[in-house]
Amino acid sequence: MGDKSHFQSDLQKEKQLAILLDSMYHNHLKNYGFKRVSDLNLQHRGVDLIMIQKNTQKTFFVDEKAQLDYVNDDLPTFAFEINYQKNGKTKPGWLYDPSKKTDFYALVTAIYADEPQTFTSCKITFVNRPKLLDLLTTRKLSQSRLEIYWEKAHGKHGKIKISELDSHSEGYLYASTQNKAEKPFNLILKLDFLIENGIAKRFV
């Protein structure tokens, strides 16, 4: 019962956030049209939003990732999921899941709820997924390399510093083995690091 009510609460939060996001896209997306995706199959393949470039009519698939666990907080980092556990098996996280069609991540941070049941402001940072994967490869952080770090962690919970990234200015790994049912293994990256490397762009 608890899981079900928590799931419904999350869905309600996502719906409320979508209202704010759509208004922000409408006001600030000058060269693009957008269409919110309602097809669950497409959503499961990493597409929440389809952006259409007005001049070329080229489409881009956007996966919205929101820090809804950190409402009224402005974190400088974002967690990219490498893998997680389901029914006792390790599954690829959304960063490396080959079934995902995502072109861009819309990272939603600094979500503020100044009124009850209403999100009033947030920040959106667009991340180019192929460029991000290329950057990680350049840093010798392939999927297989990250999986080796996961194996070496041996179920350890918490922050894992790695030689390929400066933990203060770039990023680190984080294993959530004790506080989340799916025990996600995440790559935590500084948003400024992504922006400075041309991987991300602050939308608003």
Q: Render pLDDT for 15-69 as a digit per residue (tens, 0 to 9).
A: 999 999 999 999 999 999 999 999 999 999 999 999 999 999 999 999 999 999 9
Least Cα distance to 109 among 121, 95, 127, 94 occurs for 121
The H or E element spanning position 17 is: helix 2-28
User: What are the tokens at 61?
Assistant: 């698939």
Does residue 105 contact residue 130 with C-beta atoms inside 8 Å? no
Q: What is the pLDDT of residues 99-138, one digit of tens each?
A: 999 999 999 999 999 877 799 999 999 999 999 999 999 9
Average pLDDT over residues 69-74: 95
Model confidence at 2, pLDDT cuts 50, 70, 90, reads: very low
> Is the pLDDT at 5 greater than 50, yes or no?
no
Half-sphere exposure of 54 (CA within 13 A, CB side): 5
Specify the pLDDT at position 117.
76
pTM for this model (two decimals): 0.92
Note the pLDDT of residue 3.
47
